[in-house]
Amino acid sequence: MKRRPPTAREKKRYWLTFDAKGTTQPLIWEMSKRFDVIFNIRNSSVTDAVGIIAIELEGQAETISRAVRWFKRKGVQVDPVELNTIEG
């Protein structure tokens, strides 16, 4: 039986916006346990009322997509990042 070569890993960046309830839950930690992705927090601003986090996810494209869908099911707003907005 031939093994299929693994697909290339990629990196994607997103803005995650959490409501007050989401800011008290360890959602990024939970995502990292559920999905085979590496995460890197690039920028963040969290208060009691709202959390905004720029996160980079690295892994297989389908795994990243599943992690994004999981965040959305948890009530997190997920938006793609324009690279230059968090590089500076």
pLDDT tens figures, 23-76: 899 999 999 999 999 999 999 999 989 999 999 999 999 999 999 999 999 999
Q: What's the CATH architecture for 9-81?
A: 2-Layer Sandwich (3.30)
Position 6 scores a pLDDT of 61
Q: What is the 3-state secondary structure (H, E, C) of 15-73?
A: EEEECCCHHHCCHHHHHHHHCCCEEEEEEEEECCCCEEEEEEEEEEHHHHHHHHHHHHH
Position 30 scores a pLDDT of 97
